[in-house]
Amino acid sequence: MPYPAGHREQVRRKIVESARRLFNRSGFESVSVDSIMAHAGLTRGGFYSYFESKSDLYAEVLGCFFTDPNWKSRWEGVDVDLASPEAGPQIVRAYLSRQHFEDVENSCPMVALPSDVARGDTRVKTAFETVFKAMVNLLGREVKSSSQPRDNTALAIAALCIGGMVVARSMSDRGLGDRLREAATNVALHLGGWAPAKANSLRPKRVRRSNAADAQRRKKTGRAGRKRQN
């Protein structure tokens, strides 16, 4: 019985999605073809009818929301409309957002895999470069600052976004990582001539006490102070 129309493309997408998650989580070298196919619910034998090698698959996994429309809703609460005149600042805020920081499996591969790319072959490096150039082109389209050529400004903003997230993820001190993302975001937005980001969009949400709880705490503190005076 023949497969329904679109079956092959669906299987290919499942393999790419499985590889993206596993590569982001564990890196290229630590992930086998067997584990990629098992995670996708498929058998190893079918892999080579879709990809020549793991490197071939890796090059395809390097896509991001700059080149893959299915990325647009990948981070909950983060919206990027690439057709919007505000696409530049949206990209910066999304890339350095708390949601992107926390969702490792759904990271842009340019954040999770740069060291693997540096050790990779020409095909992998070309794929990385293609995605990076797409990011730079989108940012450069919206740059408002004219202190230097737009392309140079966009290159610097892209490097701040990618490098900022890489370093933030490397910190054991979460507070320092949050400060780093906030600083990188605001510098990138300043370079582009865009409005600064709101701090609460970058930092983890904190539980705040209610007004009643604050009043009760102040009341107890006041009683303790009077007892000490007595």
CA 78, CA 81: separation in Å to the nearest integer? 10
Contact predicate 217/209, CB 8 Å: yes
Phi, psi of 82 (to 5 degrees): -65, -15
pLDDT for 29: 84
pLDDT for 196: 78
Dihedral sign from CA coordinates of 42, 31, 132, 90: positive
pLDDT for 64: 77
What's the Cα-to-Cα distance from 25 to each of 21, 107, 165, rounded to whole Å?
6, 9, 15
CA 94, CA 164: separation in Å to the nearest integer? 13
User: Domains of the chain by range and CATH?
Assistant: 1-61 (1.10.10.60), 64-201 (1.10.357.10)
Count of all residues that appear for the chain in the document: 230
pLDDT for 207: 37
pLDDT in tens, the chain (230 residues): 556 777 888 999 999 999 989 998 888 888 999 999 999 999 888 899 999 988 889 888 887 778 877 665 578 888 888 888 889 999 999 999 999 999 988 888 899 888 888 888 888 888 889 999 999 999 999 898 767 889 999 999 999 999 999 999 999 999 999 999 999 999 999 999 998 766 555 555 443 444 554 555 555 555 545 544 54
Q: Tell me the CB-side half-sphere exposure of residue 54, using CA atoms within 13 A.
A: 19
pLDDT for 222: 53
Contact predicate 140/188, CB 8 Å: no
Q: H helices of the chain, where?
A: 7-26, 33-39, 54-61, 87-95, 98-102, 109-112, 114-118, 122-142, 150-169, 174-192, 211-229
